[in-house]
Amino acid sequence: MTGAQSEHDALKSESLTEEEALELATALKQKLSNGELPNSDLESINKMVAGLGDNRGELRLTFAKSLGSVGEEAIPILCEALKSSSNVTIRRASAKTLNIIGNKKALPNLIEAFETDEDPVVQGSSAGAMATIGEAAIEPLLKILTEPKCTAFQIGLINLALGFIGSKSPKALHSATSSKNPEIRIAALSALAEQAQKHENNEVRLLILNALKDPNSEVRAEAATIVGKSMDQEEAANQLHELLEDKNDQVRKNTALSLMKMESVISINTIDQAINSESDEQVKGVMIVARDQLKSRRDTI
């Protein structure tokens, strides 16, 4: 019998009554309060994992914290539970506990759960655990992003995870901004958006500005939006002015909105010229709003 099989069998056979779960949780809580580590033998770990299925949230939290204290030794059982348990509460809590542990050994199972588990909470908690793991999760997350079966919900979770990783290790995402895949470039730029708002992070800000010239219109549109949120008129208005004549409607629209957001009063005449040559009525409407808002701003200065 393999180690994985024995863990699976142990998990299947382990269950706790409400009284047993309460008794175990009380003992574990006392150990945690005393600064003691819970027992880390296979039987003890399986009992704690079984406790993750308890319907009392306070008890589940005690079991999760205890397993988190056990750390790496609990990963195989938690991963098996995440993969195979028929109890969705256990799967959810297993992913959340793996988040507490934050060890990249769990990454393959977290990826599998994120892609295959139909429960949105399991997906979300798995994405959260991958975000906690950090740089090692970037490549698989970006890979999932480009798969046809990736849902809009999963894309949102991936962007959140990448944003969290980017806030801790922005340089880990720099190479992704030059990926051959435009979806990956967009995801990387979005993940770095918060860092672009920090004026001392010049490298990230330069990456965002360079993306305004990206050959893909969706990348340019995303970059224009980020610039509007993170930079001022002195730094970026001239680069945005060029995009007011972009061939893509969405790029021109995002650019006008960004100039308005950054309160670029020096752009009023340029936007006026763009309005006169704009053929798309919807884009023209956005440009007019942007120009009028900037005029109002100028008059109050």
* Mean per-residue pLDDT, 119-131: 97
CATH 3.60.150.10 fits 3-237, yes or no: no
Instruction: Give 255 or 17, the one with higher predicted confidence.
Output: 255
CATH 1.25.10.10 maps onto the chain at 3-237
**What pLDDT, in 10s, does the model give residues 21-49?**
999 999 999 999 999 999 889 999 999 99
pTM for the full model?
0.78
3-state secondary structure the chain: CCHHHHHHHHHHHCCCCHHHHHHHHHHHHHHHHCCCCCCCCHHHHHHHHHHCCCCCHHHHHHHHHHHHHHHHHHHHHHHHHHHHCCCHHHHHHHHHHHHHHCCHHHHHHHHHHHHHCCCHHHHHHHHHHHHHHCHHHHHHHHHHHCCCCCCHHHHHHHHHHHHHHHHHCHHHHCHHHHCCCHHHHHHHHHHHHHHHCCCCCHHHHHHHHHHCCCCCHHHHHHHHHHHHHHCCHHHHHHHHHHHCCCCCHHHHHHHHHHHHHCCCHHHHHHHHHHHHHCCCHHHHHHHHHHHHHHHHHHHHC
Q: What percent of the chain has pLDDT over 70?
A: 94
In CATH, the architecture of 238-301 is Alpha Horseshoe (1.25)
* Mean per-residue pLDDT, 114-130: 97
Asked if the model's pLDDT at residue 6 lies above 50, the reply is no
